[in-house]
Structure 1
Amino acid sequence: MPSSTPGQSPLVDPAELNTDPYAVYARLREAGPVHRITGTDGLPAWLVTRYDDIRQAIADPRLSLDKRNATPGGYHGLSLPPALDANLLNMDPPDHTRIRRLISQAFTPRRIALLREPIRKTADSLLDAIAPQGRADLIASYAAPLPITVICELLGVTPDDRQDFRSWTDALVAPDPARPDRAKGAVRSLLAFFTQLIAGKRAAPADDLLSAMIAARDDDDDRLSEDELMSLAFLILFAGYENTVHLIGNATLALLSHPDQLAALRADPGRLTGAVEEPARYDGPVPLAVRRFPTEDITIGGVTIPAGETVLLSLAAAHRDPRRFDDPDRLDIGRDATGHLALGHGIHYCLGAPLARMETEIALAALFDRFPRLALDLPPEGPRRRPSMRSRGLLALPVRY
């Protein structure tokens, strides 16, 4: 990421972006609300750093998610084939409105509520498996397998295929620059898998989200196209898995790193909601919102950004903005974290947010109830994180109990 001037800015230490991005974003935020930057890929973009500007920008219809509004040669984000790209992260109204309406018919509160008990049973089963060991990596053994099990249950993916799902998603979440073929192979595998899965659900519908998405139609008898179905299934898998893994992992690390807050949660389980919402603000899973492209010249924070250029909204900077949150660098599960943007805002509020919250609440409650002496078992250099500007997650979380 970013230098805010041509060449390397003294505001930015590239190594620090992975170890302590909040210090970098704090310097950028205080230096100005908007910066012209050069990304790690060498492409130009505009970075917005202050809460009020970012909240307004997320809801501003002049900031498009549709890549057709982008100036050629700028940063576009993850590149996918059309069959996986026709999803809500690349759409504006009216297409966004139509797709969201159709999927909302299938992704109902009732369907989410029915997952509560299976999630609890899965969490307990995963903890049963590691309980005798005394030590574990909570990412590999708990935070990762729980969401992939839930997403696969939701979509109607059989247990035999779930390990493949996880490996394909991991290849896309953290691509290896030395092995570009691995990410490309994962995309091909996902395309082939979803093509077969959708055909199977269409021929023999079941009581799962994918079958419901196939059946959904609006008042004009409109249905999701094949590309839309495939892309939405991919988005549900990708976002529902990755973001929830990071929510659980980051929240667990935050609480174990702040014994006073963990003690407050243990003393009052009624604070569990705060133990999810505050870590989502304090160290959320998504440092940057999905890139946007102005459909006309637009002014943010007194800076005019030309139409078509790439705009990046730093949620990590917004969530530590002292103009919005008092003492923002302090974790406080008693804080009213209402207004954090970790799960979106307005028409771009995440459809899966209730499920991600429920999974994280159940995961934390089960974990801390099972292991009263749970403690970090980190190496001297501290926690290892994914080297990514797009997501904020842990590669491993060693603990003892």
Structure 2
Amino acid sequence: MAVIELAHYGPDFNADPYPYYAKLRETGPVHEVIARDGDPFWLVVGYEEGREALADPRLSKALATMGYESSDEAIMGPHVLTLDPPDHTRLRKLVAPEFTARRVERMLPRIQRVTDELLDAMGPSGSGDLVDALAFPLPITVICELLGVPLADRDTFRVWTNEIVAPTTPEGQRVMTVELCAYLDALIEDKRKAGPTDDLLSSLLRARAEDGDRLSAAELRAWAYVLLIAGHETTVNLIANAVRCLLAHPGQLAALRADFGLLDGAIEETLRFEGPVETSTVRFTREPVSYAGTEIPAHRTVLISLASADRDPARFPDPDTFDIRRSATEGRGPGHLAFGHGIHFCVGAPLARLEARIVLRTLLERCPDLALDPAAGAYDWLPGLLIRGVRALPVRW
């Protein structure tokens, strides 16, 4: 099997990677790949193989599997994206109760108020960037309030997180990580001195498991880091991608406007068709592993293309069609891998779905003639393989 060099793919791969993924799937569900920076890895592009790999205990999240130390972990502390059981199990257990569906639903009134305030600020008519006006400020407001981060620091967070999830340079990513972690250290120390409040960071400072276990200072910083990044950056692009897909498919938009009972289906179809996370975070083979007859040697880096898996025709009929009724007509539920699968399934999935549900319905109800701005030109797509989205979404209303 030939090694795939991403550098040979043109700039349109970033704008529309799906035809490339389709060609890869035609020749097999697993490929050896050379990244644009020259680093080798193995890419899983098939749905069944991707689902298996996401939950495969033979794949480790710890860089120590490769015999290296994690520079990111040295900066931010151990976190769930770089740990295996039992360490992963322990950390997730201490935080997961804060993200149950019931607890998240209690946030609905506040999310609705923030959405209304942002739409009020947009005015009854006009034009502008929907990412800047709505898709970014809503999730960052929600996650900052949840964690107890001052909203005055919102714009600074945007600079940090944009460079971390879609880096322009490796050094820029590292600098932003160091700055964000230093900020979180100071914030946590302030909360420790101030005493109990009702925000999540304060709760995690006090949280103890039944056996008396609690988060260390480094673990708390790392959790705050992960929740801030994953808790808003992915939701920003879920909201923007959903609006972009609906506006690009007027028949689907009309169906949704006529029946908001299709709203959950529209969100799930966005997650499948144009999800905010293009590939999983890295995993490493502990031993040789095989998927669909292709062996990946031990101590290799593995990425699962969620974007490709969720367009696999072996799982989704007519996968390149955006169909907000898909889950109901197929009768098998969402089935997509946009939030992952297995023990690393996204802990914030209920919050992301709730925010998307509220903002999409409110936006469409209050802006009945919402449309893409025809004078805007080509999209500026986020770089890299991790986050799938655009930097700006110019619209008129």
Identify the residue that residue 167 of structure 2 maps to in structure 1: 175
Cα distance in 2 for partners of 1:35, 1:181 equals 29
| Structure 1 residue 85 displacement after superposition | 4.5
Identify the residue that residue 102 of structure 1 maps to in structure 2: 94
Cα distance in 1 for partners of 2:224, 2:216 equals 12
Cα distance in 1 for partners of 2:73, 2:62 equals 15
Task: Please state whether the residue corresponding to 2:43 is helix, strand or coil.
Answer: strand
1:38 to 34, 37, 40: 34
Matched, 1:22 2:18: yes
Identify the residue that residue 183 of structure 2 maps to in structure 1: 193
Identify the residue that residue 136 of structure 1 maps to in structure 2: 128
Cα distance in 2 for partners of 1:286, 1:198 equals 29
Matched, 1:158 2:154: no
Identify the residue that residue 276 of structure 1 maps to in structure 2: 267
2:204 to 213, 216, 224: 213
Matched, 1:123 2:115: yes
| Distance verdict in 2 for CA 1:79–1:127, change over 3 Å | farther
2:372 to 371, 376, 385: 376
Identify the residue that residue 350 of structure 2 maps to in structure 1: 354
Cα distance in 1 for partners of 2:172, 2:282 equals 25
Cα distance in 2 for partners of 1:327, 1:382 equals 26
- The one-letter amino acid of 1:117's match is P
Superposition pairs of residues 182-261 of structure 1, within 5 angstroms: 182-203=172-193, 204-261=195-252
| Structure 1 residue 113 displacement after superposition | 2.0
| Distance verdict in 2 for CA 1:151–1:323, change over 3 Å | same
Q: Deviations over 1:136-163 (max 9, x none)?
A: 1001111011100000010011222222
Cα distance in 2 for partners of 1:281, 1:196 equals 39
- The one-letter amino acid of 2:263's match is L
Contact 1:282 1:329 in 2 (8 A): yes
Task: Please state whether the residue corresponding to 1:82 is helix, strand or coil.
Answer: helix
Contact 1:71 1:309 in 2 (8 A): no
Matched, 1:289 2:285: no
TM-score (norm 2): 0.93
Identify the residue that residue 385 of structure 2 maps to in structure 1: 389
Identify the residue that residue 5 of structure 1 maps to in structure 2: 3
Cα distance in 1 for partners of 2:224, 2:250 equals 39
| Structure 1 residue 87 displacement after superposition | 1.0
- The one-letter amino acid of 1:282's match is F
Q: Deviations over 1:213-236 (max 9, x none)?
A: 111112221111111100110000
Q: Structure 1 regions of 5+ residues with no counterpart? A: none
Contact 1:83 1:228 in 2 (8 A): no
| Structure 1 residue 281 displacement after superposition | 0.2
- The one-letter amino acid of 1:211's match is S
Identify the residue that residue 72 of structure 2 maps to in structure 1: 80
Cα distance in 2 for partners of 1:108, 1:360 equals 17
Cα distance in 2 for partners of 1:45, 1:386 equals 21
Task: Please state whether the residue corresponding to 2:276 is helix, strand or coil.
Answer: coil
Contact 1:84 1:231 in 2 (8 A): yes
- The one-letter amino acid of 1:252's match is V
RMSD, matched Cα: 2.0
Larger displacement relative to structure 2 (225-234 or 108-117): 108-117
Q: Deviations over 1:34-80 (max 9, x none)?
A: 111101110111111110011011111111111111266xxx9x952
TM-score (norm 1): 0.92
| Distance verdict in 2 for CA 1:379–1:81, change over 3 Å | farther
Contact 2:376 2:394 in 1 (8 A): no
Contact 1:250 1:393 in 2 (8 A): yes
Contact 2:267 2:356 in 1 (8 A): yes
Identify the residue that residue 82 of structure 2 maps to in structure 1: 90
Superposition pairs of residues 302-313 of structure 1, within 5 angstroms: 302-313=293-304
Matched, 1:343 2:339: yes
| Distance verdict in 2 for CA 1:71–1:125, change over 3 Å | same
Contact 2:6 2:36 in 1 (8 A): no
| Structure 1 residue 17 displacement after superposition | 1.4
Contact 2:14 2:381 in 1 (8 A): yes
| Distance verdict in 2 for CA 1:79–1:389, change over 3 Å | farther
Q: Deviations over 1:315-360 (max 9, x none)?
A: 1110110000010000000011511010111211111000000001
| Structure 1 residue 7 displacement after superposition | 5.7
Q: Deviations over 1:278-327 (max 9, x none)?
A: 01100011111111111111111211111110111111110110000010
Cα distance in 2 for partners of 1:92, 1:356 equals 25
Matched, 1:146 2:135: no
Larger displacement relative to structure 2 (90-99 or 210-219): 210-219
Task: Please state whether the residue corresponding to 1:288 is helix, strand or coil.
Answer: coil
Contact 1:83 1:231 in 2 (8 A): no
Cα distance in 2 for partners of 1:362, 1:184 equals 35
Identify the residue that residue 264 of structure 1 maps to in structure 2: 255
Contact 2:256 2:262 in 1 (8 A): yes
Q: Structure 2 regions of 5+ residues with no counterpart? A: 328-332
Identify the residue that residue 359 of structure 2 maps to in structure 1: 363
Q: Deviations over 1:102-123 (max 9, x none)?
A: 1123334444222111111111
- The one-letter amino acid of 2:157's match is F
